[in-house]
Structure 1
Amino acid sequence: MLKDWTKFEILWLSVFTLIQIALFFIWDDTLLGFISSISGMFCVVLVAKGKISNYYFGMIQCATYAYISYTYNLYGEAMLNGLFYLPIQFIGIYMWNRHKTGSSTHGEDIVAKRLTKKGWIILLVISVAASLLYAELLYLIGSQQVRIDSVAVVLSIIAQILMIQRYAEQWFMWIVVNVLTIVLWLVTLLTSGGNDWAMLVMWTAFLINSVYGYINWLRISKQQNTEEAYGQA
């Protein structure tokens, strides 16, 4: 089962799973938070490996995280996960199944793509405009941490779309999202007195994985392009 897993992937998953288990008992974390964090970690490490099975863990994580966010009045996070991430998991399964490599020799199931310079420019313009507009909406409905929440949500949506389309640059967006969300949960937990610290650990694990994911997907894309060029020669 783990024959195509690297030592880093096994170590990363093992360490953060043990941390989550420890937090669950030491800090009396909620069971829902524990389930959300564990399923989320399995999801992101499988995305980094280019595995379609990531979406099954993603369904569990999206549903549980949406509810937890709602209880803390983080409406942006709740809407993002419940109304966008959850249904899009099914679309992701369909899209990735249409673009399989036909071989998972290098650990991945799908063909990775790269974004052009024009694509980056369009991405940046949309990100700034959408973040400003969404911040206004969150302010109107009384959400907490409006600015951070808005940027995190918008970039998350863009990153998820890039993920479905199999672009390696999704990971750059995820890195920014993870940093913002760590700040968001840290401020929220300190000000609310909540005990769902598993969320903070989960997002820290996501950040480390997103850096690894970016490096791994660039490797996958380069390797696939080399193999394609060799096959056409």
Structure 2
Amino acid sequence: MYLKTPFKTLSRFEWLLWICSNLIIIVSFLLGKEFDFLVLVASLIGATALIFVAKGNPFGQIMTVVFAVFYAVISYRFKYYGEMITYLGMTSPIAIAATVEWFKNPFEKGKSEVKIKKLTRKGCVILWSLTFVVTFAFYFILEAFDTPNLFFSTVSIATSFLASGLTFLRNPYYALAYAGNDIVLIILWILASIAEPENAPMIICFIIFFINDFYGFINWGRMRKRQSKNEKV
């Protein structure tokens, strides 16, 4: 797979979505009581990553790895140890593996669009089983760390692992899993903002992520139809 200048692959709508997403994030941070540059940078990187993942472009996975490191640091600062462990120990490594997998499986040689893969029944059973095992194990780890909002932090583990797994497997439903994770994170940061109002911009951040993930599901549906049609020709 050839990784040409990523931004040249964006459509007009995707340019608009990317610009609006970043502007909303920047404005929300500027209007906040405290300006946290690290959180702002992480949010902008995350929004950018989602646009390219929505296109099936491996550049999005590379950006996801960078975002995971930033977000893990932020989560540690706010004592969301579940998020820190999830992004450093799970999201980041799987995103690295997904980057390799996407590069090895382009839809067309020389193109920057990954080939979509159908999830088999066996693969589905394995993925859900692993999700259950990982979530069950992490519950006790999070409990040992006295993680705030333990229930939602545990649910976040499940949705993150499921989404990361589906991304690695090149399946369109990754976007729905990530959208579910976004909802959980919105709840987590609302709870954090009740105690510390300066966390409020993170709520806006994950609302933007939710919108971008929803677009990802729509666009991967289009990609699947186009790829299926071309394979039949």
Gaps of 5+ in 1: none
State the alpha-carbon separation in 2 of the partners of residues 88 and 158 from structure 1.
Answer: 11
1:89 is matched with which residue: 86, 95, 108?
95
1:161 pairs with one of 158, 161, 165: 165
Q: Does 1:26 align with 2:21?
A: no
1:102 equivalenced with 2:109 (yes/no): yes
Q: How does 1:48-67 map to 2 (within 5 A)?
A: 48-67=54-73
State the match for 1:71 in structure 2.
Answer: 77
**What per-residue deviation string (whole Å, max 9, x for no partner) do you get for residues 106-148 of structure 1?**
xx52101232455445544544454344223312220011111
Structure 2 counterparts to residues 200-215 of structure 1, below 5 A = 200-215=203-218
Distance 2:63 2:23 in 1: 18
C-alpha RMSD over aligned residues: 2.1
Separation of aligned partners in 2, 1:196 and 1:176: 20
Residue 77 of structure 1 and its aligned partner are, at CA, apart by: 0.3
Code of the aligned partner of 1:176: G
Moved more, 151-160 or 114-123: 114-123
How far apart, CA to CA, are the structure 2 residues paired with 1:170 and 1:48? 10
Counterpart in the other structure of 2:229: 226
- In the aligned structure 2, how far is the partner of 1:186 from the partner of 1:77? 15
1:54-113 CA-partner distances (Å, limit 9, x unpaired): 133223211111011111111110011122223333322221111012254xxx521012
Question: Are the aligned partners of 1:149 and 1:184 in contact in 2 as well (CA < 8 Å)?
Answer: yes
Find 1:17's aligned residue among 19, 22, 39.
22
Contact 1:24 1:198 in 2 (8 A): yes
CA, structure 1 residues 172+121, in 2 after alignment: closer, same or farther (shift >3 Å)? farther
Secondary structure of 1:92's counterpart equals helix
**Structure 2: stretches of 5+ with no match in the other structure:** none
Moved more, 77-86 or 118-127: 118-127
Please point out which of 136, 144, 150 is paired with 1:146.
150
Give the stretch that moved more between structures: 81-90 or 135-144: 81-90
SS of the equivalent of 1:183 reads helix
In 1, distance between residues paired with 2:99 and 2:231?
A: 24
Residue number in structure 1 paired with 2:140: 136
Question: Identical aligned pairs, as a percentage?
Answer: 24
TM-score (norm 2): 0.87
Residues paired across the two proteins, number:
226
SS at match of 1:102: coil
